[in-house]
Amino acid sequence: MPSSGKRIVFTGGSGKAGRHVIPELIKRGYEVLNLDLTDFPDPTAGVFTLKTDLTDSGQVFNALTTHFGFSDYEGPNNAGPPDAVIHFAAYARNMLVPDNACYAANVTSTYNVIEAACKLGVRKIVIASSETTYEVCFGQGDLEYTAFPLDEDLDVNPMDTYAISKLCGERVARGFARRFDADIYALRIGNVIEPHEYERDFPKYINNPQVRKRNAWSYIDARDLGQICHLCVKRDGLGFQIFNATNDTITATFPTRQFLEQWAPKTPVTREMGEWEAPLSNRKIREVLGFKEEHNWRQYYNPDG
pLDDT tens digits, residue range 51-61? 999 999 999 99
Phi, psi of 299 (to 5 degrees): -70, -20
Amino acid 2: pLDDT: 43
Q: Is residue 203 part of a domain?
A: no
User: Among 201, 242, 241, which residue's Cα sits nearest to residue 221?
Assistant: 201
pLDDT tens digits, residue range 93-135? 999 999 999 999 999 999 999 999 999 999 999 999 999 999 9
The CATH number of the domain where 133 resides is what?
3.40.50.720
Enter the DSSP assignment of 269.
Answer: B
Amino acid 78: pLDDT: 83
Q: Tell me how far CA of residue 225 lies from CA of 25, 119, 214, 222, 243, in angstroms.
A: 10, 27, 20, 5, 12
Q: Is residue 209 part of a domain?
A: no
User: Exposure of 154 by Cβ count < 10 A (0-12 exposed, 13-18 middle, 19+ buried)?
Assistant: middle
Q: Is the pLDDT of residue 255 over 80?
A: yes
Q: Is the pLDDT of residue 143 over 60?
A: yes
Q: Is residue 140 part of a domain?
A: yes
Q: Tell me how far CA of residue 42 lies from CA of 25, 128, 231, in angstroms.
A: 15, 22, 24
Amino acid 76: pLDDT: 85
CA atoms within 13 A on the CB side of 203: 4
Q: Is residue 42 part of a domain?
A: yes
Tally: H helices and E strands in the chain: 8, 9
Q: Is the pLDDT of residue 253 over 90?
A: yes
Q: Is residue 267 part of a domain?
A: no
Domain containing residue 151? 7-195+219-248+279-299
CA–CA gap between residue 263 and residue 209 (Å, rounded): 8
pTM beyond 0.95, yes or no: yes
Residue 240 DSSP SS3: strand
User: Among 225, 296, 282, 230, which residue's Cα sits nearest to residue 17?
Assistant: 225
Q: Is residue 270 part of a domain?
A: no
Amino acid 305: pLDDT: 73
Q: Is residue 258 part of a domain?
A: no
CA–CA gap between residue 189 and residue 243 (Å, rounded): 8
User: Exposure of 305 by Cβ count < 10 A (0-12 exposed, 13-18 middle, 19+ buried)?
Assistant: exposed
Residue ranges of alpha helices (H) inside 181-238 are 197-207, 222-234
Binning pLDDT at 50, 70 and 90, where does residue 4 land? low
Neighbours of 235 (CB within 10 A): 15
Q: Is the pLDDT of residue 3 over 70?
A: no
Average pLDDT over residues 221-228: 98
Domain count for the chain: 1
CA–CA gap between residue 55 and residue 113 (Å, rounded): 9
pLDDT tens digits, residue range 26-49? 999 999 999 999 999 999 999 999
Q: Is residue 205 part of a domain?
A: no
pLDDT tens digits, residue range 184-193? 999 999 999 9
Q: Is the pLDDT of residue 5 over 80?
A: no
